[in-house]
A and B are shown apart, each in its own frame.
Chain A
Amino acid sequence: MTKRLLQVLAGLGLMVGGPVLAAAELPADPLNSPAWSTIAGRYFKGQPVVFDARVKVIAPASAEDPLDVPVQISADGLADVQEMLVVADLNPIQKILSYEPLRAQPSLAFRFKVEQSTPVRVAARTRDGVWHLGGVWLSAAGGGCTTPSYGSADPVWQTRLNEVRGRLWPADDHSGQRLRLRVIHPMDTGLANGIPAFYIDRIVLSDSKGVMLARLNTFEPVAENPVLSFDLKGSGAVQVSGGDIQGNRFSAEITP
């Protein structure tokens, strides 16, 4: 009942106070996205938001393969990044991932499925609770989110589900090491006809003593057979563990 009441109150707030607050507090969107107020209301409501040139999304101007768009996010020069949230404004499922770089650089590379041309944003939350935003427009022919995964049409993945490939590279500037991972998983969005959502929703990296290095929550738009690059601060073997929304779990140790 309490939850229901809160929902009603929230709804009223949106209708009465929402637009006024948005006009007063939301900075203008440099990407001029038609969905900016929706995005701001959904993910940053009541929280301070600034656009910050140090927070970057690197992606091709145009998506050659809408099922597999490469993206790198970074917040170099921004201290104390607690969380990085990546959203694509005009995707049917906007939230792509959220990343906590506990003992890692505030940077991550991944690939995602795009449905149509859209802004791709990263929001980096610093310790003071401020969301620092950066982003780019991505042009796309689209259809990536509503296309069945290759895996859904090929029974081979069932025997290789959650198979992990990976390797560590020392960073060029000796600041730590890069971990690259590939996990076999269909990452079905649930938007293709007759194929339910089925995706990896969490990956945790730890060192050999069990100290957590980074935590990643992935959502439906992350590309099939996710390929990820993490920039970790320390050195040594990394324990990878993760799981999907149906309770399948995986674990692998990557040694230098």
Chain B
Amino acid sequence: MSWLRLLAALAAAGVSTLASATGFDYRLQPVPVADGVYTLIGKSENFSRDNGGNIVNTGFIIAPGGVIVIDSGPSKGYGEQQRAAIAKLTGKPVVQVLLTHAHPDHVLGSQAYPGVPVASLPATTTTLTQSGDALLGNLYRLVGDAMRDTEVRLPNAEAHDGAVTIAGRKLRLIAARGHTDADLMVFDETTRTLFAGDLVFFDRTPTTPNADIPAWLTTLDAIDALPFAALVPGHGPLLRDHAGIAQTRDYLRWLRDSLQGAARRGLDMPEVLQLPVPERFRHLAVLRTEYERSVSHLYPAYELDTLPTIPRSKPK
């Protein structure tokens, strides 16, 4: 039996060295964006057991009166490790969590911040109330053990469009829509850093499960006009120019035109799934998977536009 005890001892030693009780080490490395502003850059992949769901960019601002967290990540373990990464840089407590939108990779780490107000746009809270458990269940299926103990913690405060001062830091909260029906952007006036949420992707194919492409394109024009010095996209590398906006716009326009054109030619979904994607998008991460998902999300509405209602005739 001694070899069993040895194994148990080794296992215990292994657990104690890990950063979190969940056992999954996200190896979060804050990337400085500007003075007191950081982002945690996730992988440009799909959810997997290997990445623990960390396919997302989150961020934080060290303000005079405490730390403001923008998006809490895909799991309780991620949120805890995000909190630990912040604590290595500042002794100030986290005083506010802001959630950009209701997708699970952005919001499921909020359990790591008990007692800290978590704010989102009201429609985000509505979506999480209705669909949060389904989104959570899906992530458990895709990511597995890194999700351990993760539950949906609903926001307990409302964010609204406009200027606010949080912990002594002037922020502009921007309520928009397009990626979902409620997309919150956070603009730090001090450093002119824009946390764009999933309204901007870069070198990673945009996702569309709740997208409204015309609204999204309108929002991208508004983002283009913002005086940002740095832009943290929801997915993909940190930007200091407008390339992410242009790329997201280019892809969404192509997607819209391609699907609309296919519907007008009378194609059915399995045929649309096989259409080629132009060369200029081939370097985008997870392109084929996300294109296929987008066909499933968006094509039914485009094809219905091409099918007129037939007046009822008497059955023969």
Taking A64-B292, A165-B307, A165-B309 as contacts, is the C-beta distance between A241 and B271 under 8 angstroms? no
The answer to whether A180 touches B292, judged by C-beta atoms less than 8 angstroms apart, is no
Is there a chain B Cβ closer than 8 Å to A169's Cβ? Answer: yes
Nearest residue in B to A229 (C-beta to C-beta)?
A: B268
CA distance A59 to B268 in the complex (A): 11
Q: How many Å lie between the Cα of A181 and that of B310 in the bound state?
A: 10
> Quick one: given A64-B292, A64-B296, are A180 and B310 in contact (CB under 8 Å)?
no
Please classify how large the interface on chain A is, using the bins under 10, 10 to 19, 20 to 34, 35 or more: 35 or more
With both chains docked as a complex, state the minimum distance between the C-beta of B138 and any C-beta of chain A, in angstroms.
6
User: Is A180's CB under 8 angstroms from B307's CB?
Assistant: yes
Complex partner residue of A59 from B270, B303, B306, B314, CB under 8 angstroms? B270
B17 at the interface (CB under 8 A from A): no
Identify B310's interface contact among A61, A109, A249, A252, CB under 8 A: A252
C-alpha spacing A59/B273, complex, angstroms: 8
Residues of B within 8 A of A61 (CB): 292
Chain B residues whose C-beta falls within 8 Å of the C-beta of A64 in the assembled complex: 292-293, 296-297
Q: Does A45 contact B (CB under 8 A)?
A: no
B266 contacts A by Cβ under 8 Å: yes
B274 and A58 form a contact (CB under 8 A): yes
Inter-subunit contact B296/A70 (CB<8 Å): yes
Tell me whether A252 and B307 are in contact (CB under 8 A): no
Tell me if B300 counts as interface (CB < 8 A to partner A): yes
Q: Which B residues between 286 and 305 are near A, CB-CB below 8 angstroms?
A: 289, 292-293, 296-297, 300, 303-304
Rounded to whole angstroms, the CA-CA distance of A58 and B268 in the bound complex is: 11
B313 at interface (Cβ–Cβ under 8 A)? yes
A250 and B315 contact, CB distance less than 8 A: yes
The answer, yes or no, to whether A254 is at the interface (CB within 8 Å) is yes
A153 to B19, CA, bound (A): 47
The answer, yes or no, to whether A207 is at the interface (CB within 8 Å) is no
Contact B314 A251 (CB under 8 A): yes
Contact B303 A227 (CB under 8 A): yes
Contact A72–B271 (Cβ < 8 Å): yes
**What is the minimal beta-carbon distance from B249 to any residue of chain A, in angstroms?**
24
CA separation between A70 and B295, bound complex, in Å? Answer: 10
Interfacial residues of chain A within 150-185, with CB under 8 A of chain B in the complex: 163-167, 169, 178, 180-182
Contact of B304 among A165, A169, A178 (CB under 8 A): A165
Residue from A72, A180, A181, A253 within 8 A of B270 (CB atoms)? A72
B310 to chain A, nearest CB (A): 4
A167 and B268 form a contact (CB under 8 A):
no
A167–B303 Cα distance when bound, in Å, is 11
Instruction: Determine the distance from Cα of A70 to Cα of B293 in the docked complex, in whole angstroms.
Output: 12
From 185 to 244 in chain B, residues with beta carbon under 8 angstroms from any chain A beta carbon are none
CB-CB under 8 A from A111, the residues of chain B are 269
Which of A's residues lie within 8 Å of B, judged by CB? 58-62, 64-65, 68, 70-72, 109, 111, 141, 163-167, 169, 178, 180-182, 227, 229, 239, 241, 243, 249-254
Pairs A-B, 10 closest by C-beta atoms: A70-B269, A169-B266, A109-B268, A72-B270, A64-B296, A165-B307, A252-B310, A249-B315, A229-B268, A251-B315
- Given contacts A163-B312, A182-B304, A227-B303, 20 further A-B pairs with CB under 8 A are A58-B271, A58-B274, A59-B270, A60-B273, A60-B292, A60-B296, A64-B293, A70-B269, A70-B270, A70-B296, A72-B270, A109-B270, A109-B271, A166-B307, A166-B308, A180-B307, A227-B300, A250-B312, A252-B311, A253-B313
- Contacts A/B (CB < 8 Å), 7 sampled: A62-B292, A64-B292, A141-B141, A164-B309, A164-B310, A251-B312, A254-B310
